[in-house]
Structure 1
Amino acid sequence: MLDPEEIGHSANMRLLANVPLDAPFDVPEAWGTDLAFQGDYAFVGNYEGFAVHDIGDPAHPEVVTRVACPGVQNDISVSGDLLFLSIDEPRTDDTCAGGPTGPEDPSGWEGIRIFDISDKAHPRYVSAVRTECGSHTHTIVPGKDTGTVYLYVSSPGPVPGSESCPAPHENISIVEVPVANPRSARVVATPELFPEQRPEDESFAAGCHDITAYPEKGLAAGACFGDGVLMDISDPVAPRVLQIVSDRDNFSIWHSATFNNAGTKIVFSDESGGGLAPTCGASDDPTKGADAVYELTPDRRLVRHAYFKIPRVQDAKENCVAHNGSLIPVPGRDVMVQAWYMGGVSVWDFTDSDHPKEIAYFERGPLPRAFAGSWSAYYYNGHIYSSDITEGLDVLRLDDPLTDPAKAVRMTELNAQTQRSYG
């Protein structure tokens, strides 16, 4: 960990604490990934498994346990006593003991793993569900009653030569999880999102990268590699496409989406270069690897207004691109915090859809590895938590008159891709 005094940051944001990676996450590709929260706990995905942190005292977070369960990329979410992991690589079996196998292996497994976390110190593997083309990310969508949750599974594809991910791949998978009996979880639907299939020989990925649901509004927004998709999810097992938006001139890889609290705007991000490219240099295109602010009209049509990219120039060795973020619950304003890999963590205001602006930041600067920096940065109960790929869990304190009202908003659970109204 760098000396906090050597880390770049705005006057209104500072590093409060850091929990470095440690065994069993001390191997070269033990990369930190996504975050989820529940009560006084933060759950952090890692290519080698996941960790549970006690954040009851944000200035002194403590590791409760680290669970070794390898799999790319272990995208993580929690709901009640259940924890879900996305596995997007074929493996010899669905357990934590299995190893990687090739895409040409017809018996290779990839999909969703399920854990019981009723005992936070001793998570227990419960079951797994195979999904088409694996699971790169997933999104929790509550059922019509508390006894069922659904997972919208996003995955890239097709994979040449693969029996489990053949062309075409224009759909997502929906996994139904009976809360009282997660062992019986199963795929109940594979809705196709695109009315016209792309030619099978096209080289870019199909399917979706990420989906954000806003169940209270009956809406979801999918970042589906080459397009953004707006969906009606009033029936959670039968999502209905309302609109597909494209931006071939400015966006390369539609990565993720965030609604504002009112459900009248959506921020789509572009992961140009797949997270490995330095897109934040002085001569780089201001839209490549950036965010786009869309407004949602009363008849539920998306209209693009402006782009946002961090204003701090990064050097040619820093992978920098828009990545995972969440709203900061400031009543009456649209403010979010977002990870930018080596570009650090940015807080920006898009209340004025045509003139978004950064209001706070934190960044370590160039790191020794080519793939590094903040993977996910989310606001939870008064602090910002960042999962840094190589440096572990960061806790950031934000003190600003504009965002201070958010400190009064308390959450009991947060999965950033399942949005809930805060007032």
Structure 2
Amino acid sequence: MRETNINFDRRSLLRSIGGAAAVGAIGGGSTAAAATREPNVRTDPLGTVQIEGTTNEAVTGDDGTVAYVSRDTGFVTVDISDPSNPTVMANLGDTGISGILDAKVDGDRLFLAGRRDIGLYDISDPANPTQLDAFDNGFGIHNSFLVDDIAFAINDPVAEIVMYDVSNDEFDEIGRYQPSGLGDNPLLHDLWVQDDVMYMAYWNDGTPMVDISDPTNPELIGTVRDGSDMFPNNDHYVQVNEDASIIIIGKEAFGDGLGVEIWDIADPTDTSFLAEIDPPSEGGTRTSHNCDIVGDYLYSSWYSGGVRVHDISDPANPEEIYWWRENNVSFWTAKVGVPGESFIGNDYANTELYVFPDPGDHGGDNEAPSAAFDASPVDPSVGETVSFDASESTDPDGSIAGYEWEFGDGSSGSGETATHAYASAGEYTVELMVTDDAGATDAASELIAVSDDGECGAESESTTENGFLAWWNTDEVRTYSTQTSDPCGVSIELAGPDFANFDLYVTYDGRTPTRDDYDDRSAGSGASESIAGGLDGATDVGILVDGVEGWGEYSVTIGEQGR
């Protein structure tokens, strides 16, 4: 039996910044008709792991196989790919950031928010996270968000959002926002950002929806409900579903506890209340805390009330399908790992991470495909074309919808078959990812050993060509004819304006490249891209510059190597 050790330092923080708003939050039950039923599913956790130090938030990475758990002055990465054996991979105990209450993941980056500091980490290798930037921003932060190269931090003392551009892996403040018409002593507790809309959980003032397509000039769309629509309000946590047709508003109050509201926001100018999920029937402190929505399922944490899962395919009639609690365990978090396999709950009272079975039906009984491919030859010379054939890949209950190749030298391709030539000797791991018609994936890899039977680069040619993209001219194709006596390699460097996003596509056999038909591509987030590939004799190189976003002049520098 665990010793009861629930720490309410977070509430002390809220009281210090919220004043009367936090005091008014205590007490009161739900005012709507209950939308729950007695739980009929209780499956024990699949696995647990002890976390060293004081813990708070826990989130999962994009592929659901790694959890990131915040500590007071750092964070821990946990491998949950085997839900029955969660394993700590990295433990960063002293990041220089103190009082960390929130963590957010987007792609290969982790955003930490502390009492006065924020930090950004590269987590491309979860076992070896590295700090990109950190600084003292001069105000207390309880919650945050990270998406599409923008970090959002709540300035607790004044209840505003501060936005930072992190596209260069450092914090560059680009704006602050607070909607007008708030009451006295406003308290902004949390936020959610999706598809250029920011949803702001103002404790007693409702949940505004804000257009941030231009983050330097946010514009209020409307309010899910203002502070007078439901009482007590206590808007603590918000999240929308995938198409933003519904929003959940988690409400927090100690004492009798509060639940989770579900609202229809398909038309954000005409929202409507659908249902409320009441607190569980057992547990000491059992008010709602953090939640997650994946597909048609809502995952929620309730402190001592445990963790729960509701089917919200009919959001007006949510149905509880899972509930687990244990005495002296208090959950801060409920977040999905791999849909259909697991979700996590962070017991911050005992600093332990739980991995639970996911009862949600995310895609039915779909079986994953099996990836396989042949490569010929597997021991080519520099510049020699290698053919890849993935026709042996299979799907037991459907069809394969996509094939994506990574050739190991920074180049990629797509399609059931592909070709590639290497510009330099070495060993390259080729990876194939197949995706079936239900979204399941599988991967296969093979080692290609490239030898150098002649010095590639003994002869060289280079040229630079300029172009211009705009709304009336969103892409340009050009052809480069090789000039050396025995072409063996080529490099293409694209340089465009800083504010634009241009992509680069290349073919090596004279055909015209398109976004769907190419040999190599480089598609980063900016307008500067590069590709290097091998050549096997004289040919025409096709080059497509595609303007994904923005406009302006660009240059393409082509470097050819020959023997």
* TM exceeding 0.5: yes
**Residue equivalent to 2:333:** 376
CA drift at 1:299: 5.4
CA drift at 1:34: 2.8
Q: Does 1:312 align with 2:297?
A: no
User: Which of these residues, 320, 335, 345, is aligned with residue 386 of structure 1?
Assistant: 345
Q: How does 1:109-120 map to 2 (within 5 A)?
A: 110-120=116-126
Native 8 Å contact 1:10 1:362 kept in 2? no
User: Which of these residues, 57, 61, 78, is aligned with residue 37 of structure 1?
Assistant: 61
Q: Using a 3 Å threshold, how does the CA distance of structure 1 residues 335 and 130 change in structure 2: closer, same or farther?
A: same
Q: Does 1:156 align with 2:137?
A: no
Native 8 Å contact 1:32 1:392 kept in 2? no
Q: Structure 1 stretches (4+) deviating beyond 4 angstroms?
A: 406-412
CA drift at 1:406: 9.0
Secondary structure in structure 1 of the residue aligned to 2:364: helix
- Partners of 1:79 and 1:65 lie apart in 2 by 18
Q: Does 1:76 align with 2:42?
A: no
- Partners of 1:293 and 1:395 lie apart in 2 by 26
CA drift at 1:135: 2.1
Q: Using a 3 Å threshold, how does the CA distance of structure 1 residues 113 and 253 change in structure 2: closer, same or farther?
A: same
Between Structure 1 and Structure 2, whose CA radius of gyration is higher? 2
- Partners of 2:365 and 2:165 lie apart in 1 by 34
CA RMSD of aligned residues (A): 2.8
Q: How does 1:235-274 map to 2 (within 5 A)?
A: 235-244=214-223, 245-248=225-228, 249-272=230-253
Q: Does 1:209 align with 2:189?
A: yes
Q: Does 1:228 align with 2:207?
A: yes
Native 8 Å contact 1:31 1:48 kept in 2? no
Q: How does 1:163-202 map to 2 (within 5 A)?
A: 169-178=158-167, 181-183=168-170, 185-193=171-179, 195-196=180-181, 198-199=183-184, 202=185
Paired AA for residue 99 in structure 2: V
- Partners of 1:48 and 1:171 lie apart in 2 by 24
User: Which of these residues, 236, 248, 256, is aligned with residue 279 of structure 1?
Assistant: 256
- Unaligned stretches of 5+ in structure 1? 3-8, 89-109, 143-148, 158-168, 281-288, 413-423
- Partners of 2:46 and 2:246 lie apart in 1 by 32
**Residue equivalent to 1:343:** 305
CA drift at 1:170: 4.3
Paired AA for residue 210 in structure 2: M
CA drift at 1:324: 1.1
Q: Does 1:301 align with 2:270?
A: yes
Q: Using a 3 Å threshold, how does the CA distance of structure 1 residues 259 and 44 change in structure 2: closer, same or farther?
A: same
Q: Using a 3 Å threshold, how does the CA distance of structure 1 residues 403 and 191 change in structure 2: closer, same or farther?
A: same
Q: Does 1:63 align with 2:88?
A: yes
**Residue equivalent to 1:364:** 326
Native 8 Å contact 2:286 2:303 kept in 1? yes
Native 8 Å contact 2:287 2:302 kept in 1? yes
Q: Does 1:292 align with 2:261?
A: yes
Native 8 Å contact 1:35 1:387 kept in 2? no
How many residues were matched structurally?
A: 327
- The structure whose RCO (Cα within 8 Å, separation 6+) is larger is 1
Q: Using a 3 Å threshold, how does the CA distance of structure 1 residues 399 and 253 change in structure 2: closer, same or farther?
A: closer
Q: Using a 3 Å threshold, how does the CA distance of structure 1 residues 139 and 409 change in structure 2: closer, same or farther?
A: farther
Q: Does 1:405 align with 2:371?
A: no
Q: Does 1:327 align with 2:293?
A: yes
Native 8 Å contact 2:279 2:287 kept in 1? no
Native 8 Å contact 1:311 1:358 kept in 2? no
Give the fraction of aligned pairs with identical amino acids, expressed as a percent: 21
Paired AA for residue 287 in structure 2: V
Q: Using a 3 Å threshold, how does the CA distance of structure 1 residues 223 and 299 change in structure 2: closer, same or farther?
A: closer
Q: Using a 3 Å threshold, how does the CA distance of structure 1 residues 411 and 301 change in structure 2: closer, same or farther?
A: farther
CA drift at 1:346: 0.6
Q: Using a 3 Å threshold, how does the CA distance of structure 1 residues 13 and 246 change in structure 2: closer, same or farther?
A: farther
**Residue equivalent to 1:133:** 139
CA drift at 1:19: 0.3
Q: Using a 3 Å threshold, how does the CA distance of structure 1 residues 20 and 187 change in structure 2: closer, same or farther?
A: same
Native 8 Å contact 2:61 2:106 kept in 1? no
Paired AA for residue 57 in structure 2: T
Native 8 Å contact 1:271 1:290 kept in 2? yes
Native 8 Å contact 1:33 1:388 kept in 2? no
- Partners of 1:197 and 1:262 lie apart in 2 by 28
Q: Using a 3 Å threshold, how does the CA distance of structure 1 residues 339 and 241 change in structure 2: closer, same or farther?
A: same
CA drift at 1:197: 5.2
**Residue equivalent to 2:79:** 54
Native 8 Å contact 1:115 1:127 kept in 2? yes
CA drift at 1:323: 1.2
**Residue equivalent to 2:561:** none
User: Which of these residues, 37, 43, 51, is aligned with residue 21 of structure 1?
Assistant: 51
- Partners of 1:56 and 1:270 lie apart in 2 by 32
- Partners of 1:392 and 1:411 lie apart in 2 by 31
CA drift at 1:64: 0.6
CA drift at 1:228: 1.0
- Unaligned stretches of 5+ in structure 2? 3-38, 367-437, 443-563
- Partners of 1:380 and 1:242 lie apart in 2 by 32
Native 8 Å contact 2:174 2:215 kept in 1? no
The more displaced of 228-237 and 45-54 is 228-237
- Partners of 1:31 and 1:239 lie apart in 2 by 34
- Partners of 2:272 and 2:109 lie apart in 1 by 37
- Partners of 1:299 and 1:375 lie apart in 2 by 29
